[in-house]
Amino acid sequence: MLVSFKIQKFNPEVDAKPYYRDYEIELPERATVLESIIAIKEEIDGTLSFRCSCRSAICGSCAMRINRCAKLACKARVADEVNRHGSILIEPLQKLKVIKDLVVDMDPFWRMIEKVKPYLMPDPNEAAPERERLVDPSTTEDVIRNSLCILCACCHTDCNVAELEPGFVGPAALAKGQRYVADTRDGATDERLKSLSEPHGLWECARCFACTQVCPKGVDPRESIRRIGHLAYERGIRSDEGIKHAQAFLDSVKASGRLNEATLPLKTKGLGVVGMTPMALQMFLKGKVPFPIQRPVPDMEEIRKIFELTEKQR
Amino acid sequence: MRYAYFTGCVADKSASELDYSTRKVCEKLGIKLEKMESASCCGAGDIDEVNLDLSRALNGRTLAIAERDGLDVLTICNVCTLTLRKVNQDLKENPEALEKTNQVLAEIGMKYSGGVEVTHFLWVLMREFGVDRLKSYVQRPLAGLRVAPFYGCQILRPESRLGFEDPNNPKSLETIITALGGTPVDYAGKTKCCAFLISLAREKTASKVLGQQLWGAKTEMADCIVTPCPLCHLSLDAFQGMAEKELDRSIRLPILHLPQLIGLAIGLQPSELKLSRHVVGVDGVLAKIPSRVPAGPVPAAGS
């Protein structure tokens, strides 16, 4: 089939700014996007630059934006892209400096991965064991799922928060971090949880689920972030406003069966809520600030019972 | 067409205009909504985060109520949709989770067997009601109105939990805007995040994210944004001032709930849609569409 490509090109040594070039090429039905750009490079434009290595979604080096979504070029099928979008638009990963065409500087991404100390740190007070440390079977799911990550940076560069807040540690690093907080061989769980709860840590995640959606390996970073939040809550690391928000939510449903929108800001932000006054006033004038004391839902007894029982189950 | 109607906490209180306009529109279209008075809050991602078993038991109870009544659940909030669908999928696919949840539900005389579907108002319009049928109700076409769709994250992603349409290339809102006679506006922010969930805990980051999406619609000359989610609405409308401050730009873009936009086109009055409850005024939108409904045959409800 004859397929049209529009590919972003940029050579900082020559070009003032990035531009797009159109290509048309005859491809077999089963071609991947990577096979296509290799063919374009071989047959039409020898200057076209991109990274690739394994061609089988293992090395993570051919990540790029294909029809405005971060993907591995070796895993994306031309026919699927054409069916969904009609043609194929290829751009480098977002927010990373372009070295040439589709090749980006991955350094800021590696710095984020380094931040979560992606290696085991056994408890220094514990005597070295006679033989190797065994993985607890209950944590293998976390260890294995997060270890599937191939560091392609698809999730990090498509994350709706990292896109605008470069300080945000991002979904790939958080998923990596969860692999170590879940691993029973690690002895720095609380230290890790505190560091992951820092201002640009897990509570900056807006739950846009872009990471889970784009991950080519099924890591589900948002689920990993949820699990860090859960563990931080369980272990009493609750100073961030993000976790106070979750606590306030829980308390309000326990009290009335519903979310109490009027008390949530105060319980989340404490005195910091004062800074929100102009916005709150506008909302109040439009009747958008509900009365803080709300009637419980009918059959509230059932909900109280559910809270009691699930607390007992744990 | 009859559904167990799960309003959700925000549409019940601060965005009550969404609940009100949904009921008005459904009444006119002949979609019957049985309000789930005793349903609890879905707990959003928050209860799910701190206590998964509790989230499954609370939402399992909601699903059991609908199952007892023999109805599928219809939501009008993206977060409720994802939270309820996630629990529903886990209970249907994971027998251990279902058993654990049913042990709790048994204590309050309830049981869930996995016989309920959770859907969203937007999906019902697209799939069960049908766009052609919706078109036949249009009395005041939104001709010349440039409407920017804002999907919100949790009606699109993750596809494994939602799966109604391609999260990277959704078409449902555009299809409805076109059916109502309006012009859909394309912009990068339409499938992105409103940052509502971090608007309290990370105000500055949230304002940047929100500001980008609002500004994107504004630069494409949108007259208004339409959204199927009350949390996106709160963010886009009530917190628009925060985004303006962060961007140091005036935006003043009116934000409509999906049923409000439909209501205008099918001939409901602004007062029936409670348009005056918005922080950013909608006069600019009303000025662009005919104020009177032209005389002509009106399709009967449920036809």
Distance of alpha carbon A120 from alpha carbon A187, whole angstroms: 8
Could A283 and B278 be called an inter-chain contact, meaning their C-beta atoms sit closer than 8 Å?
no
Summarised one tens digit per residue, pLDDT across range A4-16 is 999 999 999 999 9
A307 in reach of chain B (CB within 8 A): yes
- pTM (two decimals): 0.95
Could A207 and B277 be called an inter-chain contact, meaning their C-beta atoms sit closer than 8 Å?
no
Q: What is the structure's pLDDT at B297? A: 54
Q: Which of A203, A209, A290 sits opposite B153 (nearest CB)?
A: A209
Mean pLDDT of B120-147: 97
Mean pLDDT of A108-117: 98
Q: Which of B9, B49, B159 sits opposite A230 (nearest CB)?
A: B49
Sketch the domain layout of chain B as residue ranges: 2-121, 138-288
Which candidate in B54, B244, B247 is best for mutational testing of the A interface (most A CBs within 10 A)?
A: B54
Q: What is the structure's pLDDT at A285? A: 85
Q: What is the structure's pLDDT at A299? A: 94
pLDDT band at B259 (very low <50, low <70, confident <90, very high): very high
Q: What is the structure's pLDDT at A14? A: 96
Q: Which of A85, A208, A247 sits opposite B169 (nearest CB)?
A: A85
Summarised one tens digit per residue, pLDDT across range A205-259 is 999 999 999 999 999 999 999 999 999 999 999 989 889 888 988 999 999 999 9
- Which residue in chain A has the smallest CA separation from B42? A258
Residues of A in contact with B278 (CB under 8 A): 286
pLDDT band at A276 (very low <50, low <70, confident <90, very high): confident
Which comes out higher in pLDDT, residue A277 or B216? B216
pLDDT of B79 strictly over 60: yes
Considering all CA atoms of chain B, what is the largest pairwise distance in Å, rounded to the nearest integer? 59
Summarised one tens digit per residue, pLDDT across range A159-218 is 999 999 999 999 999 999 999 999 999 999 999 999 999 999 999 999 999 999 999 999
Long-range contacts of B168-174 (CB under 8 A, 24+ apart): B168/A67, B168/A68, B168/A69, B168/A84, B169/A67, B169/A84, B169/A85, B172/B122, B172/B123, B172/B126, B173/B122, B173/B149, B173/B226, B173/B228, B173/B258, B174/B149
Which comes out higher in pLDDT, residue A145 or A286? A145
Could A161 and B195 be called an inter-chain contact, meaning their C-beta atoms sit closer than 8 Å?
yes
Residues of B in contact with A261 (CB under 8 A): 9-10, 13-14
pLDDT band at B256 (very low <50, low <70, confident <90, very high): very high
Could A67 and B169 be called an inter-chain contact, meaning their C-beta atoms sit closer than 8 Å?
yes
**Which residues are within 8 A (CB) of B109 and not within 5 positions of it... i.e. 6 or more apart?**
none
Q: What is the CATH number of domain B2-121?
A: 1.20.1050.140
- Which residue in chain A has the smallest CA separation from B44? A249
Tokens 């099918």 appear where? B266
Task: Please state which of the ranges A200-214, A228-242, B193-207, B284-298 shows the lowest mean pLDDT.
Answer: B284-298
Could A164 and B212 be called an inter-chain contact, meaning their C-beta atoms sit closer than 8 Å?
yes
DSSP B127: I
Q: Which of A67, A213, A306 sits opposite B157 (nearest CB)?
A: A213
pLDDT of A277 strictly over 80: no
Q: What is the structure's pLDDT at B303? A: 43
pLDDT of B299 strictly over 60: no
- Backbone region of residue B262 per phi and psi (left: phi > 0; alpha: psi in -120 to 50; beta: other values): alpha
Q: What is the structure's pLDDT at B295? A: 61
Mean pLDDT of B145-162: 98
Mean pLDDT of B50-67: 97
Summarised one tens digit per residue, pLDDT across range A134-148 is 888 989 999 999 999
Residues of B in contact with A226 (CB under 8 A): 45, 48-49
- Which residue in chain A has the smallest CA separation from B53? A310
Q: What is the structure's pLDDT at A78? A: 97
Q: Which of B12, B201, B238 sits opposite A279 (nearest CB)?
A: B238
pLDDT band at A295 (very low <50, low <70, confident <90, very high): confident
The nearest CA of chain B is from the CA of A102 a distance in Å of: 20
Distance of alpha carbon B23 from alpha carbon B13, whole angstroms: 15
Could B46 and A264 be called an inter-chain contact, meaning their C-beta atoms sit closer than 8 Å?
no
Token pair of A152 as six digits: 């392609």
Distance of alpha carbon B76 from alpha carbon B296, whole angstroms: 31
Architecture (CATH level 2) of domain B138-288: 3-Layer(aba) Sandwich (3.40)
Q: What is the structure's pLDDT at A294? A: 83
- Whether the complex's predicted ipTM is more than 0.90 is answered with yes
The nearest CA of chain B is from the CA of A101 a distance in Å of: 22
Q: What is the structure's pLDDT at B302? A: 46
pLDDT band at A291 (very low <50, low <70, confident <90, very high): confident
pLDDT of B137 strictly over 90: yes
Average pLDDT over chain B, rounded to an integer? 95
Count how many pairs of residues, chain A against chain B, have C-beta atoms within 8 Å. Answer: 201
A148 in reach of chain B (CB within 8 A): no
Could B9 and A69 be called an inter-chain contact, meaning their C-beta atoms sit closer than 8 Å?
no
Tokens 């199952």 appear where? B67
The separation between CA A305 and the C-alpha centre of its own chain, rounded to angstroms, equals 35
The nearest CA of chain A is from the CA of B58 a distance in Å of: 7
pLDDT of A271 strictly over 80: no
Distance of alpha carbon A90 from alpha carbon A67, whole angstroms: 6
Domains B2-121 and B138-288 share a fold: no
What is the signed CA dihedral for B87, B90, B96, B101, rounded to 10 degrees? 10
Domains of chain A (ranges; CATH) run 2-104 (3.10.20.30), 107-234 (1.10.1060.10), 255-313 (no CATH)
